[in-house]
Structure 1
Amino acid sequence: MNIEPLAGHPTCWHRAGQGARAALMVHCSLAHSGAWRGLEKRLSDQFTMLAFDLPGHGRSADWDGAGDFQDASVQIAEALLDRETSGPVDLIGHSYGGTIALRLAQRAPKRVRSLTMFEPVLFAAARDHPAYAENAAYMNGPFADAMRSGDRMEAARLFNVMWGRDAAWQALPQSLREDMARRIHLIPAGKPVTHDDIHDQIAPGALERVELPVLLMEGARSPALVGAVHDVLEARLPNVQRHVIGGAGHMAPITHPAEVGDAILAFLRQTAPTRP
């Protein structure tokens, strides 16, 4: 594990696996690169994987709040790829990390061999769906109220419950709940991407130009908004497969790494022959 400046930001990153294919993995909000441990184990024979802690996450330096959070994350990812890889890579992104992986593919498609996104939170794609209005009301109501009052633990609980169940929050160790509460301000920092599409990732023609193979994955128990977003992405991406992980929710890359890993390997066997 290394901590060093990438794009001017002190960043923690690591390498795993010994496979012929190079991959970059981008974790979800409030997690860190260690969340990929189970999936790395599953993919280690096929991939040499890079993973880093997003700004303000894990052991990376705090985000200074300057500019756009996704911009900062993308620049770090590109700096890591520039230094540690020499050819096309497979991108794997979870949740907010999926929006980053997609943007990397949109910015430099020639350096990307395939794109796997597990529930990318591009909610703006489903603005016309009732689930979007429900999500916005929740985030602008109870969640925003907790943030304004300074109750970071309650804000973290509300965010966690939205993506799972209250019982799942109660089952988390207190140390993990406290860690999520410390970082909860990074959730509103993602809103310009998730709800406002500040970088036009879903603008007319933007998805249609992503011609490389895309695997879109979701949990069978995930919120309705996930399916609504995926319906739009599936309709617009020209070379996409969609896969549902039975019995899983939004955190399937952590809770169901074997199933997620097997789906990725099957997707790559079908779409992109292994190249050195």
Structure 2
Amino acid sequence: MSLHVTARDEGEPAVLLHSGGMSGRQWRKLGEALAPTHRVLTPDFLGSGENPPWPADRPFHFHQDVEALSALLAGLAGPVHLVGHSYGGLIALELARKHPAQIRSLAVYDPVAFGVLHSTQDAEGLDDLSRSSAHPVFNDAERGGSETWLEVFVDYWNGPGSWRAMAPAAREAFLRVGRKVYFEVSTLLADRTPLEAYAAITAPSLLLFGEHTPAAARRVVTLLGTTIPHATVQPIAAAGHMGPLTHGGAVNAELTRHILAASAPRSP
């Protein structure tokens, strides 16, 4: 299963992974900032962006996106800089721990690696996570990915009323990929990858979270920061879970600084 990938410019590759329900276009401004020094690749996950829609009746596990991205990394020359947001952050972490020699640097914002909450029995994170899963529609396989389901999903991450406040075009875009997002979420919620598994990540790592991000994701970042050997944890003031979009200037500045610092020296 190959992915649609937008690639531009030359240099060390930087692979930017979008959040669930979005596409590689999410990282347009970061790509512009990195373009003078790096080859920027923005893949769309399976069933997202320019890829064919995921069939509503076909099962999916997030490991399938990991496999597709592993194939992409294997075809690139040299190690890559890897960036991911939310679901893309989880995929980035999976790639970095499974293929450490292929990663030059890692940067994630609010990665949804919820297995670390279970392995540590983190009360604050698990209590917060239960807010969404407690809603009867959230685990309803028949309605998963529907407008009713997406309202619960979006409002958990962004606050009550966020779904209804979205522009009609934005809601329609989410509905087109809603079933795939449901499968992503249901499989990542079942993931039990323990915290200690992420100690295998050897690249310099930047772990970002929003000041107003839901507690579950904030706790994931905090816990990962105690385990990934070369990790820096950095909050983004006034931002929430969608900080890469709502506070793109601040987030992209941190990401660009991290990637440039980790880049190999270049010949004059």
TM-score (norm 2): 0.87
Residue 157 (structure 1) aligned with residue 151 (structure 2): yes
Aligned to 2:69: 77
What SS is found at the alignment partner of 1:120?
coil
Counterpart code for 1:15: A
Corresponding residue pairs, total? 263
Matching residue of 1:45: 36
Residues 188 and 132 (structure 1), Cα distance of their counterparts in 2 relative to 1, 3 Å cut: farther
In 2, Cα distance between equivalents of 1:66 and 1:151: 13
Partner of 2:222: 231
Query: What's 1:126 paired with?
Result: 117
Over residues 51-109 of structure 1, what are the superposed CA-to-partner deviations in whole Å (9 max), with x where a residue is unaligned? 111111112123357665322212221222333x2111100011111111111112211
Which residue in the other structure is 1:3 paired with? none
SS in 2 for 1:60: coil
Matched, 1:196 2:187: no
Partner Cα distance (1:55, 1:63) in 2: 7
Aligned to 1:4: none
1:54-73 aligned at under 5 Å gives the runs 54-64=45-55, 68-73=60-65
Tell me the secondary structure at the aligned position of residue 226 of structure 2.
helix
Q: Does 1:209 align with 2:200?
A: yes
Q: In the TM superposition, what whole-angstrom CA distance separates every residue of 1:164-215 from its partner, at most 9, and x where no partner exists? A: 13454333221221221232223342346533325x3x353x2112121110
State the partner residue of 1:252: 243
Amino acid paired to 1:27? H
Q: Which runs of 5+ in 1 are unaligned?
A: 1-7
Contact 1:147 1:155 in 2 (8 A): no
Partner residue in 1 for 2:130: 136
Contact kept, 8 Å, 1:53 with 1:60, in 2: the verdict is yes
**SS of match in other structure, 1:14:** strand
**Greater alpha carbon shift after TM alignment, 169-178 vs 22-31:** 169-178
**Matched letter for residue 68 of structure 2:** I
* Alignment gaps of 5+ in structure 2: none
Deviations 1:125-152 (A, max 9, x none): 1233234234234224244267645781
Conserved 8 A contact 2:109-2:208? yes
CA distance in 2, matches of 1:145, 1:192: 8
* Secondary structure in 1 matching 2:106: strand
Change (3 A) 1:48 1:231: same
**1:238 positional shift:** 0.9
Cα distance in 2 between the residues matched to 1:151 and 1:111: 34
Percent sequence identity over aligned pairs:
26
For 2:263 and 2:187, locate their aligned partners in 1 and report how far apart those are by CA, in whole Å: 29
| In structure 2, C-alpha distance between the alignment counterparts of 1:90 and 1:106, rounded to whole Å | 14
- Say whether the 8 Å CA contact 1:214–1:240 is kept in structure 2: yes
User: 8 Å contact 2:124–2:215 — kept in the other structure?
Assistant: no
Partner residue, 2:108: 117
**Structure 2 vs 1, CA of residues 151 and 220 (structure 1 numbering), >3 Å: closer, same or farther?**
closer
- Answering whether residue 21 of structure 2 is matched by residue 27 of structure 1, we say no
- What is the aligned counterpart of 2:5 among 13, 16, 27? 13
Code of the aligned partner of 2:239? A
Distance in 2, matches of 1:145 and 1:76, equals: 26
Q: Compared with structure 1, are the counterparts of its residues 81 and 107 closer, same or farther at alpha carbon in structure 2 (3 Å cutoff)?
A: same
Give the Cα separation in 2 of the matches to 1:149 and 1:222: 26
Counterpart Cα distance in 2 of 1:134 and 1:214: 25
Q: Give the superposition deviation at 1:268.
A: 3.6
Equivalences for residues 84-95 of structure 1 within 5 A: 85-95=76-86
Root mean square deviation, CA, Å: 2.5
